[in-house]
Amino acid sequence: MDYRKRYFFILAVLLPALLVSCSSQPATVHPIPVTGATVAAVEGSAQPTVLSPERAMPTASIQAQPSTSVSCKSPAALTPAVTEGPYFKANSPERADLLDTGITGTKLVLSGYVLTAGCQPVPNAVLDFWQANAQGQYDNSGYTLRGHQFTDAGGRYQLTTVIPGLYPGRTEHIHVKVQAPGGPILTTQLFFPGVQQNDSDSIFNAKLLIQMQDAPDGKQGSFNFIVNTK
C-alpha cells in the first residue's frame, strides 16, 4: 500500500468511527434534561397548592378593614352547633363577597375570628356560608348568597352579604359550617338581635347572636367562632 492508499484507508475507517462516537455523545447527555423536565412536570402538577399563598393574602387587605375586637376568655365555651336545615349545597364558590348583581336588601359586613377554646386564632379555617335573600328565598339551583372562605394568618374572616329575610317558621339567620384545619365540622347558624321572631323560633340560640352596629352603607356585624381543632 502506497502512501496515498494508506491515507484513504485511514479516512475510510477512522472517520466514520469518529463520527459515530461524536453522534452518540448527546445520548448520554439527554438523561439530565429529561430528568429536569420530569421535575418541572411534577412541580406543575402540584400547582394547586399554590392556592395557599392566596389564602394567606387577605392579611394585608383585612388589616385595612375596621378591626374586630377579640373578646375571648380562656377557656372559652365552644360555639354551639344547631341544625343544618334542608338548603345546604356542597361545593360553594370560594368568595367572601356574596353581593352578586341584582341582590337587594340591607348590606351586611360580618367579620370576626375563628379561635380555639384557648383563645388562639385559627389560620386557614374554612367558613362556608349560605343564606336566604332579603325576601326569604334560597337559591337551590345555583350558588346565589353561598360562598366559602378561609381565615387569614390572624384567624380572621370577613363576609359581605345582605341581611336575610324571614321565611315561614324561621327568624332571620345565616347558616355556616366552620372547620379548623384537621378539626371537626361545626354546623351552626347566626342570628340577629332585636328580631321579634327570635322568641318563637325553636332553633334560635342567644349565644349565636351577631353583635350589630350601623354602618354608612348598611350594617356591620361581629361574631367570633370558638371551635375544636382536633
Nearest distance from C-beta of residue 132 to Fe ion, angstroms = 6
Nearest distance from C-beta of residue 47 to Fe ion, angstroms = 37
Residue type at 192 in one-letter notation: F
- By the rule CB under 5 A, 165 interacts with Fe ion: no
C-alpha to C-alpha distance for 207 and 77, rounded to whole angstroms: 10
List the one residue from 70, 85, 215, 219 that touches Fe ion (CB under 5 A).
Answer: 85
Nearest distance from C-beta of residue 202 to Fe ion, angstroms = 13
With contacts defined by CB under 5 A, name the span among 38-46, 51-59, 65-73, 83-91 that binds Fe ion: 83-91
C-alpha to C-alpha distance for 51 and 33, rounded to whole angstroms: 28
| Beta sheet of 185-191, edge-to-edge order | 146-150, 126-130, 173-179, 185-191
With contacts defined by CB under 5 A, name the span among 43-51, 80-88, 95-103, 142-150 that binds Fe ion: 80-88
Nearest distance from C-beta of residue 86 to Fe ion, angstroms = 8
Residue closer to Fe ion (CB basis): 113 or 192: 192
C-alpha to C-alpha distance for 149 and 58, rounded to whole angstroms: 10
Backbone phi and psi for residue 210, each to the nearest 5 degrees, phi listed first: -80, 140
Nearest distance from C-beta of residue 98 to Fe ion, angstroms = 15
Residue closer to Fe ion (CB basis): 85 or 165: 85
C-alpha to C-alpha distance for 157 and 101, rounded to whole angstroms: 23
- Among candidate residues 110, 115, 85, the one with its CA nearest the CA of residue 98: 110
Binding residues for Fe ion, per CB under 5 A? 85
